[in-house]
Structure 1
Amino acid sequence: MVATPEPKYMSPQEYLEWEEKQPIKYEYINGEVFAMTGGTLAHATIAGNLFYQLKNHLRGGSCRHFVFDAKVGVSEKGPFHYPDVMVSCDERDRNADKVIYHPCLIVEVLSPSTESFDRGKKFQQYRRISTLREYVLIGAEQMNVEVFRLNDRGIWELYTYAEGEEIYLSSVDFRCAIALLYEDVVLESDESETASNK
């Protein structure tokens, strides 16, 4: 989640050095830094559920998986973002300790305040990462997963998944019932049904 920008322009190197000393996380876009704000419990639970499922799937392999606090760099000059979940299977990221530059999978859990940015400018920036094969958007208010997958012709294709279905992430050969991503999550539709039954 992105709040208002801090007004000072920074070079990518200045940002990386400055952010290490800050008490909160900041994203970096075109020389400006943006404070990250807190998300909802549903947002955190969905990201945590996916991370848990991916961790079990990837255990013992060569891929590294990250949740919340791992920074991705579109290039060494930025932009720099904090995806909700990310996986890199690239040897160049094997010993990274501050920034991942070669992810194959990036996941964002949508919130009303950032949805248009996640779908638009952020996806546009992420598509510049040559190793990226899938970009996933997960709804936090209703059971809905959208997977943008890069095909063999270099075209991004959209695959959608809804309640009762199994999602598939080809970049890491991962299958999972969509219900597992929403385990322990109270959706708006659930709250409306509860209210109408009273």
Structure 2
Amino acid sequence: MPRKAPLRRASFEEFLALEATSSERHEFVEGLVFAMAGGTDYHNRLVARILLALLPAAERAGCEAFAEGMLLKVEDAAYYPDVFVTCEEPLDGARYKKTACLVVEVLSEGTEAIDRGEKLHRYRKLPGLQAYVLVSQEAKRVEVYRRLPDGGWRYEVVEEGQVPLPCVEVSLDLEALYRGLPV
């Protein structure tokens, strides 16, 4: 499913001002502002479980984990990843981060094409990104794009057991992640 039509054109600063006063969230791509779709209860459960798994490990590593409410700026775009970890120095009152070592998106019918295309392309340009993770709502399946030491990327699919995640050195247990979901 393609992205919906943009709501308006704006500078990044205008976009940030809009987000500061809006009751809805938007994404910013090449000077265009797009409304974001809402999530299902399955989507929200998966995001919460991923955040709960990452948060203690991120704190131990001196990093921060965010879920859905913090923007990640990548070149001329800004997105609200479902979950991401940054070891960037915290700034009081910051509305966005510029670095991430781990980004997780929970796939949905309305966002899957963007997550697999546009976001994959942009996120992989983040110098410190160690992994980009796609979590299915339809099946017990997690896809991981891992940065290799030579700068290349390896793609893997995990459908059972543990999904080791770099950056904060934690694993997602697929049984716990999908417990109670009809997959």
| TM-score, with length taken from structure 1 | 0.85
Whether 1:109 and 2:106 are equivalent positions in the alignment is: yes
Aligned length: 183
Q: Which amino acid aligns with 2:141?
A: N
Give the 3-state SS of the residue equivalent to 1:5 in structure 2: coil
Q: 1:182 aligns with which of 172, 178, 181?
A: 178
Larger Rg: 1
Structure 2, unaligned stretches of length 5 or more? none
CA RMSD, 1 decimal: 1.9
Q: Note the 1:1-198 alignment, pairs <5 A.
A: 4-75=4-75, 78-91=76-89, 93=90, 95=92, 97-163=94-160, 165-187=161-183
Rounded Cα–Cα distance in structure 2 between residues aligned with 1:145 and 1:67: 18
Moved more, 94-103 or 146-155: 94-103
- State, as a whole percentage, how many aligned pairs show the same letter: 31
Offset from partner CA, 1:123-160 (integer Å, 9 cap, x none): 11112211111100000010000110100111011122
Rounded Cα–Cα distance in structure 2 between residues aligned with 1:6 and 1:147: 30
Give the 3-state SS of the residue equivalent to 2:72 in structure 1: strand
Cα displacement (A) at 1:121: 1.1
| TM-score, with length taken from structure 2 | 0.92
Structure 1, unaligned stretches of length 5 or more? 188-198
Cα displacement (A) at 1:65: 0.4
